[in-house]
Amino acid sequence: MQHVDVAIVGGGIVGLTLALALKDTPCTVAVINNGPLTTPVLDKPTARVSAINQSNINALEQTGAWQLIQHDRVNPYGEMHVWDKDSFGDIHFNASELAQESLGVIVENQALVNALAQRVEQLPNITVVNGKIDRVLPSPQQTMLMMSRGQGSDDEIVTCRLLVGADGANSYVRKQAGFPLTFKGYDHVAIVANVRTSRPHENVARQAFTPTGPLALLPMSDPHVCSIVWSQQSEKASDLMRLDDASFCNALYAASNGVLGEVSLETNRTDFPLTMRYARQWAKDGIAIIGDAAHTIHPLAGQGANLGMQDALCLASLITRLFEQQKDIGLHKHLREFERARKTEAVKMIAAMDGFAYLFDGSHPFKKLIRGVGLSATNSLPALKNAFVSQAMGL
């Protein structure tokens, strides 16, 4: 049996960010993950990537983790080009307009997790526990986690004052806590792959809104490789997934207006349905949830990972302050500040993504007019455009 102040279930980007943000506190932390944290990256980049904004990069630099990342698996982008394929709407964002070097980076998820995990293993106040939680036994003073570690290994018990669920959209911790969940399907499916392009991407992130859903072209470190996230109405996505590779690439070329020339697949295509999830409660005595355990949003703005990392940083800031004030980190009345702040940000982001998804879906003439006028007007108003960019960068 071991006791820690904070037990974090989930060794992904969000859970490890929380652990690292507590590195300079007297707080003892356990990161619990069912499997090893690190996985060697493949020779070729995978299609599982995230767009990380400048605010979160700054935070990771302060933890010492960002400096450990494998540099050929992360690529800064300095510009963003967004257009509506069905109207005259077109907008460009440029980091130089805000005197910044980049708007953010595109990074392979596993490369980022590997760097975070490497830094975690260097810190004396953080323990990594490899195992599966079988039971959660809460009590007024502590939460007990009964864990199994596989054949040939002894089972383990971890007790903590605060249990944090950073264990994804199907969170075990959220279910054990009994937090109610609101969800709805977007009737969209995201198709993800890496593609090679005949023209260089020039470190520009591109997004085209088509009548059946948005297409994102995210620049990777290879100047001729992009990760695509092509969100399409479910029926259209099924049709695209049934195409052979050459036909799929032709459809992709047409959807992107051929901005990067001919395309070919670098990886297999994968698809997953898009669902909005929102936990109506994020904390109670002894338990809190963050990241996808608390919310999932439409990927059209690439803000899912950033939102989860901000949850982690907000909770870490509160825990640090509670330790300094010698207050109980497990009491719900003390966790309410985190819960209120992050629920507000999540609701705002969900509402914005729902609004964009509705406005840019379909070919209704009135919608097309609004899209065209809105994008073009924003592009011509520097103050408004810079406000959008600052928000996206987390600044």
Q: Which pLDDT does position 286 carry in this prediction?
A: 96
Cβ-proximal residues to 178 (8 Å cutoff; 6+ apart), any chain: none
Helix axis angle for 365-380 and 332-359, nearest 10°, is: 110
Whether this prediction's pTM lies above 0.75 is answered by yes
Distances in Å between the alpha carbon of 344 and those of 151, 236, 311, 319, 340? 44, 34, 11, 19, 6
169 phi/psi in degrees, rounded to 5: -65, -30
381 phi/psi in degrees, rounded to 5: -115, 95
C-alpha span between 235 and 61 (Å, rounded): 43
C-alpha span between 309 and 290 (Å, rounded): 8
C-alpha span between 329 and 318 (Å, rounded): 9
Which residue has tokens 């259209």?
Answer: 236
Here the tokens at position 23 are: 């590195």
200 neighbors 225 (Cβ within 8 angstroms): no
Residues in a beta bridge with 334: none
Cβ-proximal residues to 235 (8 Å cutoff; 6+ apart), any chain: none
DSSP 8-state symbol, 45: P
Instruction: Note the residue count of the chain.
Output: 395
Cβ-proximal residues to 78 (8 Å cutoff; 6+ apart), any chain: 94, 95, 96, 101, 102, 103, 203, 204
The C-alpha angle 377, 303, 387, rounded to 5 degrees, equals 35
The C-alpha angle 129, 134, 139, rounded to 5 degrees, equals 90
CATH class of 2-67+110-182+276-355: alpha beta
Q: Which pLDDT does position 155 carry in this prediction?
A: 76
Closest CA to 54 of 104, 112, 108, 107: 104
C-alpha span between 87 and 370 (Å, rounded): 9
Q: Which pLDDT does position 201 carry in this prediction?
A: 97
147 phi/psi in degrees, rounded to 5: -125, 145
First to last CA, the chain: 43
321 alpha-carbon distance from chain centroid: 26
pLDDT string in tens for the chain (395-residue length): 899 999 999 999 999 999 999 999 999 999 999 999 999 888 888 989 999 998 999 999 999 999 999 988 999 999 988 888 766 667 778 888 777 888 899 999 999 999 999 999 999 999 999 989 999 998 888 999 998 876 555 678 999 999 999 999 999 999 999 999 998 888 889 999 999 999 999 999 999 988 888 899 999 999 999 999 999 999 999 999 999 999 999 999 999 999 999 999 999 999 999 999 999 999 999 999 999 999 998 876 668 899 999 999 999 999 999 999 999 999 999 999 999 999 999 998 888 776 666 555 656 565 555 655 565 556 555 655 566 666 666 65
Q: Which pLDDT does position 387 carry in this prediction?
A: 62
Here the tokens at position 178 are: 């009994």
C-alpha span between 188 and 168 (Å, rounded): 20
Q: How many CB atoms lie within 10 A of CB 61?
A: 11
Which residue has tokens 């392979």?
Answer: 108
Q: Which pLDDT does position 281 carry in this prediction?
A: 97
What's the sign of the alpha-carbon dihedral 157, 163, 166, 167? positive
The count of C-alpha atoms lying within 13 angstroms of the C-alpha of 73, restricted to the half-sphere facing its C-beta, is: 24
Cβ-proximal residues to 316 (8 Å cutoff; 6+ apart), any chain: 18, 21, 22
Closest CA to 310 of 60, 110, 100: 60
